[in-house]
Amino acid sequence: MLFEIFPISGPILIKPARIGDARGWFSETFRTDRFRENAGPVDFVQHNQSMSAAKGTVRGLHFQLEPMAQGKLVRCLKGGILDVAVDIRRSSPTFGQHVSAELTADNGHQLWVPPGFAHGFVTLTENTEVFYLVTAYYSPAHDRGLLWNDPALGIDWGIGDEEAQLSDKDRKQPLLADLPDLFD
C-alpha cells in the first residue's frame, strides 16, 4: 500500500497493492495502523455508498462545519470518478487550491480528504458506484457546500456546465469568496 502526499498538506492518495493470478486479484484496502502512520489518529464512524447512473454526474463540493466536520476516505467500486478536494481552511497557505485524482474500479486508488476540505467528484462512466468512510456522522445542520464550477477554484472537471448532472442543491452553492472564515 503506497501513500502519496500532495503539495497541499492534508489529502493523501492511497494506492493499495493487488496480488493477482488466473482467478483474479486480492487487495488489502485498509489497515488502521498504516493509515494512522500516514494520516494521523482517525476513527471512521459511518460508511456511505452512492450510485450515479449518468456519466458527468457531479456530486459536491460538500463539507460539514465543526464540530461535525468530516474526513472522508473515498474509493470507486464500479466505473470511475475524478475526485476533488478543495482547501477551505482560511488560514492555510493553500486556501482555495485543490487536488484531484482519478479513482476507478480498475486502479483501486483511494483519496483521503481530511476535515477542512470541500469534497466532490464527477463520474467518468455510467453506473458509477462510490464508497467512502467518514469520521463524523452526517448532520444536516452542519452540512454546507461550495459551487463546483467557481472560476476562482480553477478545477478542470473535464466537462462543461451544460453537460454536468447536478442536484438543485449543488447548483445553488456559494462561491469561495462568499464563504465565511472556516476551519481556522
Catalytic residues: 62, 132
Residue 109 contacts residue 77 (beta carbons within 8 Å) = no
Residue 59 contacts residue 139 (beta carbons within 8 Å) = no
Which one-letter amino acid corresponds to residue 29?
T
Q: Compute the radius of gyration of the chain from its Cα atoms.
A: 16
